[in-house]
Chains A and B, each alone.
Chain A
């Protein structure tokens, strides 16, 4: 739904969960829903990635597993139209506005979410957990605000190092949008604690 008027605090927040390699949208939605218990002002949705991961049978993925950053960035960028179509559909279905649409990415879902932020205006905020926000960043726009993207990394993450994520955000044109918090005890996990942090950040009124 295009933004055609002012946003009311009674409009729903739309949280779009973007799962990791081998995960499912349902798993993330369940964790976020549990953390959001008692909140009636948000809708949590999410698609399953279109790829089938060879190393985690039964799950879903956004793209084949690799540590090669150029490939991750390219495959993530190629998925942007697919994700935007999904989010537009959910915005229409739930009468949710772009201003209150938040991408919540985990692991592979972070690189996909970052590409969506860079190449569309479908969502304003994001929470990125245990993943690499690769890409050049969105071009300067008047509607971009400082610290509207929260990046969470784990001190015990075996796959994604906090210093790499700091480098990713420092290289971006829109780095002022990003705030970074490292949780020392967090591994590569979209935990209940992380879900609570995500919801708190996602639904802050300006």
Chain B
């Protein structure tokens, strides 16, 4: 099981690679969707990134925009997979 600390590190790397410097300040509670950091396509890309971390399917019923609103919320999806 990946630790939350490691998950946050990998997620930040993923987001910085795609979004550049605006992703550098993201922390566990930064609002990702309403703030516009993640657009609709990036939400999907981020979801596939999560599946890559878990190596399995994320529970379809839990995959909602709200669940990806913050990295802390996204980590809960990873833990539950």
Residues of A bordering B, CB below 8 Å: 21-22, 54-57, 64-68, 71, 158-159, 188
Contacts and interface: CB of A to CB of B under 8 A. Distances in A.
- Which interface residue of A57, A66, A68 has the most chain B CB atoms within 10 A? A66
A55 B60 contact: no
Given A66-B51, A67-B52, 15 more contacts: A22-B40, A22-B44, A54-B63, A54-B64, A54-B67, A55-B63, A55-B65, A56-B43, A65-B60, A65-B63, A67-B48, A68-B57, A158-B41, A159-B48, A188-B41
A182 B41 CA distance: 21
Interface string B46-81: 011001100011101111110110000000000000
A98 B47 CA distance: 38
A57 B60 contact: no
B44 A67 contact: no
B58 A54 contact: no
Chain B interface, >50% SS class: helix
Interface of B: 40-41, 43-45, 47-48, 51-52, 56-58, 60-65, 67-68
12 contacts: A54-B60, A54-B67, A55-B44, A56-B43, A57-B65, A64-B63, A66-B51, A66-B57, A66-B60, A67-B51, A68-B57, A158-B41
A28 B41 CA distance: 18
B57 A56 contact: no
A68 B56 contact: yes
Contacts of A65: 44, 47, 60, 63
Nearest to A21: B44
Contacts of B67: 54
B72 to A, nearest CB: 18
Contacts of A56: 40, 43-44
Nearest to A187: B41
Contacts of B44: 21-22, 55-56, 65, 159
Nearest to B51: A67
A67 B56 CA distance: 9
Contacts of B48: 67, 159
Nearest to A71: B57
